[in-house]
Chain A
Amino acid sequence: MVFLSFVNCMRVKGPDKFWKRRQILKLAAHFYGRKRNCYSIAIRSVQKALQHAAYGRKVKKLERINLWKERITAACEELNIPYPLLMENLARCDIALSKKTLADLAIWEPRTFKCLTQIAAAKNQSYPPTVKAALQPPPEGVITRGML
């Protein structure tokens, strides 16, 4: 007796399985132990790793902005101007330099950064927010020609 239709009852797994698993195992190639070789263990680690990567992509941007802010604050304190004063007055002067550019200028072009702080101080002088600020001497070396 030959059962020809019995073969049709066998469930065939799709051809994609090898490639899908290979895709996961490729992402896990640098993991430790069975996590890099065994699919059912690797899939868990890979999913966690991808979650970490997604979260990290957002955090990386925030950390970078924070670092720029710290660097600009440090450069400002050296030049005797507070950071919020610098940012507010540069914005008031329509100098739309990003935190990244300001931090880079502070490191690579320190004299330009000093000039920016002086511009901010001069702008602050033109409409001092408090009595205390009004009593401060105007910044040296700034020629506004009434443009601020």
Chain B
Amino acid sequence: MSHRHLFLQSGFIKTNLQNGVGRFVNQLQRINLIFCKSSGSSKGVREFIETDLVDFARANPGTVVYLKPRRHRGTYMCAEYLNGHKDYITCNNFTRDEVRKWLEYMKNKSGFPIIRLRKHWHTDHPSIQGIWNPFTHKPSYLNVTTFPEKERSEYQPLMPSATEQLLQIAEQVGFLDNSNTNNTTTTTRNTENIPPPLNMSDEK
């Protein structure tokens, strides 16, 4: 048999946080007083009903009070809140004062159960700029591309490769502007096109 329900529950705040900001609405919806007409343990509850109950009911017009006389049963009060949560308190051998005080306690509670709070703050609007989604930082042209796309998939090196560096140097010096034959040096037997000696400081 599982006793896991006895382990301390945890949760996030779900109370009606804006309750007192405008109008205050008492969160107690109805309160049931279950007692026995004859047993000794319900004496305090019976006394309370005879004396203070009507005052309590008049003071809280938004709360419905139910009385449930049940023979040979324990005495307890069950409070139901606007969010649907139910709370029970056993009233065996309570005095009239104790019943009154515990009733006040039930009335003043919000419907949120007493659990360990994982976060002591709550907001309905955690994000101003919009929550991250997988497409936040992705470029919008991806919506219209067909895959596989080479540019998107390619490795982007941080440094230019040796080939690229050579091409850059060639461009600076002016190799690429002249035709291929002019760039040959005198290792060939072809003596017609002997270019002048290379001067790297020449800029075009």
Contacts and interface: CB of A to CB of B under 8 A. Distances in A.
A and B: interacting chains: yes
Interface of A: 29-32, 36, 75, 78-79, 106-112, 114, 132, 135-136
Contact of A110 (B7, B129, B159): B129
B131 to A, nearest CB: 6
A112 B6 contact: no
A70 B62 CA distance: 51
Contacts of A111: 129
A-B complex: 8 closest residue pairs judged by Cβ atoms: A30-B7, A108-B127, A30-B6, A29-B6, A30-B3, A110-B132, A111-B129, A110-B136
5 contacts: A31-B3, A108-B132, A109-B127, A109-B129, A135-B158
B137 interface: yes
B148 interface: no
Contacts of B6: 29-30
- B interface bracket (residues with beta carbon within 8 Å of A): 10 to 19
A130 B63 CA distance: 73
A36 B3 contact: yes
B126 interface: yes
B58 interface: no
Contact of B137 (A78, A108, A132): A78
A107 B159 CA distance: 32
B168 to A, nearest CB: 12
Contact of A30 (B4, B128, B130, B132): B4
A109 B130 CA distance: 7
Contacts of B3: 29-32, 36
Contacts, number: 37
Contacts of B137: 78-79, 110, 114
A28 B159 CA distance: 63
A108 B126 contact: yes
B129 A132 contact: no
Contacts of B129: 108-112
A106 B7 contact: no
Interface string B110-136: 000000000000000011111110001
Contacts of B127: 108-109
Nearest to B128: A109
Nearest to A26: B6
A108 B131 contact: yes
A75 B127 CA distance: 17
B159 A135 contact: yes
A135 B160 CA distance: 10
Given A30-B7, A78-B137, A110-B130, 17 more contacts: A36-B3, A79-B137, A106-B132, A107-B131, A107-B132, A108-B126, A108-B127, A108-B129, A108-B131, A108-B132, A109-B127, A109-B129, A110-B137, A111-B129, A112-B129, A132-B159, A135-B159
